[in-house]
Structure 1
Amino acid sequence: METMTEIPVGPPPPGTFYEQVGGEETFRRLVHRFYEGVAEDPLLRPMYPEEDLGPAEERLTLFLIQYWGGPRTYSDRRGHPRLRMRHAPFAVDRAAHDAWLRHMRTAVDELKLPAEQEKQLWDYLVYAASSMVNTPG
């Protein structure tokens, strides 16, 4: 027996996910809040060798903007994302995965997105965090 799901009332949101959630400003807020947590995290902070987290913050912001349908500035500046390769020099274990998601959870919650968009964003972030794990433990 097939389960019926509720059909949303009203027209579907226009445009890309990037546009639906508020564009560049939303992703800048998300990533800035995330890096506020990283800056104080004894496990994650050493993974960012630059004294200033600003360049890492900008790279993640541009990546997420592009991934979610915004301008392709990330690829224009850095080429293909190659995320696993770019993270390979760092030992990313389960503890780092969990810390990364903990700070990202705080940042996502503070956006106060509609439930459907929050879930879509969070599901991707959980997937991305899992795919970066390269060290047992």
Structure 2
Amino acid sequence: MEETTKPIPSLYEWAGGMPAFEVLFTKFYDKVLQDPLLEPVFKHMSPEHRQHVAHFVAEVLGGPTLYSDTDDGSHFKMISKHLSKHLTQEHRKRWVELLLETADEISLPDDPEFRSAFVAYLEWGTRIAVINSQLDNVNIDDQEPMPNWGWGVPGGPYMG
């Protein structure tokens, strides 16, 4: 009898699909708007901001291309949104802290493989945001491809 192996799910699939990301970023931005450090940065965000970020992160983690296709977004446009915002490491750390706190509250998967890949993406993305926030313009192609974040070194979910 041959043993069949299931394909490794994307991080997006493992997290619970779009509903998980929409809940995550809705609840997260509720916290952001109550946070003394982050509220001044985000108080003027558009009503669509939460959904756009949910779509962006979901797409990066292997989900559908809603950000690129229906939100008229791109990696270049996401980078451009951070220009001249002058974000600090304190802003970045607090943003990540609140997002991970929210991930725990909504029971996003907490197996070490998923969280390792998820946190690695958050670290990478938020550090790029801080760097770009110090610039007035960015010298990249407006067709820069969207990041595509996978499982990394662990290679897939913990099946212990």
TM-score, with structure 1 as normaliser: 0.78
Give the match for residue 127 of structure 1.
Answer: 124
Give the match for residue 87 of structure 2.
Answer: 92
SS at structure 2 position matched to 1:122: helix
Structure 1 pair 33/49, CA: closer, same or farther in 2 (3 Å)? Answer: closer
Residue 43 of structure 1: how far off its partner (Å): 2.0
Partner Cα separation in structure 2 for residue 58 and residue 40 of structure 1: 19
Give the match for residue 5 of structure 1.
Answer: none
Structure 1 residue 17 corresponds to structure 2 residue 11: yes
Moved over 6 A (4+): none
Structure 1 residue 67 corresponds to structure 2 residue 27: no
Give the match for residue 138 of structure 2.
Answer: none
User: Deviations along 1:18-70, whole A, 9 cap, x unmatched?
Assistant: 1122111111122122212101112212222536x642111101101111121
Give the match for residue 23 of structure 2.
Answer: 29
Give the match for residue 101 of structure 2.
Answer: 106
TM-score, with structure 2 as normaliser: 0.68
Kept in 1: contact 2:58–2:64 (CA 8 A): yes
Kept in 1: contact 2:32–2:39 (CA 8 A): yes
Partner Cα separation in structure 2 for residue 27 and residue 58 of structure 1: 9
Partner Cα separation in structure 2 for residue 96 and residue 127 of structure 1: 15
Structure with greater helix share of residues = 1
Kept in 2: contact 1:30–1:108 (CA 8 A): yes
Partner Cα separation in structure 2 for residue 12 and residue 116 of structure 1: 17
Residue 81 of structure 1: how far off its partner (Å): 2.4
Q: Which runs of 5+ in 1 are unaligned?
A: 1-9
Count, aligned residues: 125
Residue identity opposite 2:40 in structure 1: P
CA RMSD of aligned residues (A): 2.2
Q: Which runs of 5+ in 2 are unaligned?
A: 135-160
